[in-house]
Amino acid sequence: MLWFLIALIGPFLYALSNHIDKILLEKYFKKGGVGTLILFSSLLSVMVLPFIFLADRTVFNISGISILILTIEGILNVLVLWCWLLALKSEEASVAVVFYQLVPVFGGVLGYFILGETLSDIQLVAMATIILGTTIISFEIDSENKFQLRRKTILPMLAAAFFWALGSVLFKTVALEEKLWRTIFWEHLMLAFVGLCIFIFIRSYRENFLLAIKNNSRAILSLNVVNESLYIFGNIAYSIAYLLAPIGLVLLAESFQPIFVLAIGIFLTLFFPKISVEKIQTRHIVQKIIAICITGIGTYLLFIS
């Protein structure tokens, strides 16, 4: 059970970060917000490196193949963020985040093929249940109670869930061979390296990033630092849990993230509407709760299996 409690830290911190992403996109980085936030996220990952080095002075004793794998994982982490922000531009955080429940589905399948982990019949049923839950949230209910497919949300979030699961499998592949802190160090170093490459070679992202730094106050820039700190500590919590249980079971803790995101969204809408507003009409809340409950059943089935 310890691994499950540790894994829950991740989705809670991610939920806070999800809402900060939405606030930054809507209020402060309307132009070039996706590229700006990607660069903030990747470049600020260097903040944690000195602390990891103090925890383990052997971080540079790592094989070349492990560095290559973690470089690929760094690219996948950037792709996850890119897909997430694309979906978030036109969707509520509490809707887009439900699609992350497919991460343990992809993770279980990838763990089976790459790591040789086994999947029981109950786990397969659980995965099908999670897919059903995400299907429910794939349709938007308009003012006339008609259903419309969320096309701008589905494709990027499916890609984000897959990239996240693949990156998690690659991380565990290295972590099983190397020390935990050594792996986390190089994971964040490679993420920063990928961000530096984006800054150098993608002109539009670089210009919007520099413009955001120039035009925004220290308070807004500090909010970015807090946001990325939440994300980094969430990653560390997950990384520790990955070594304590099969990857598919750890990733199922991600199903609690929509609960946290929905609760925070309702709280902000009711008490701080100037900061963030989500649709909290009965039909929208019921749809979200049903989707979360069904994915929660899938989570429970995975847990008992």
Domain locations along the chain = 1-304
Q: Given CA atoms 208, 214, 218, 219 in this order, what sign does their dihedral have?
A: negative
pTM for this entry: 0.86
Residue identified by tokens 């419309």 is 148
Q: Along the 305 residues of the chain, how does pLDDT read in single tens digits? A: 676 777 788 889 989 999 999 998 888 887 778 998 999 889 988 988 998 899 889 989 999 999 999 999 889 989 999 999 999 998 999 999 999 888 888 988 887 887 787 888 888 999 999 999 999 999 998 777 778 899 899 999 999 999 988 988 888 788 778 887 888 899 889 989 999 999 999 999 999 888 888 877 677 778 888 998 898 888 788 778 777 777 666 766 767 889 999 999 999 999 999 999 999 999 999 999 999 999 888 877 877 76
Residue 113: DSSP 8-state: I
The type of residue at 189 is L
Nearest-10 Cα torsion for 274, 41, 95, 97: -140
Let me know: does 187 contact 236? Beta carbons within 8 Å.
Answer: no
Look at residue 248 in the predicted model and tell me its pLDDT: 60
- In sequence order, the β-bridge partners of residue 139 are 149
The token duo for 42 is 């990747």
- Give pLDDT, residue 39: 92
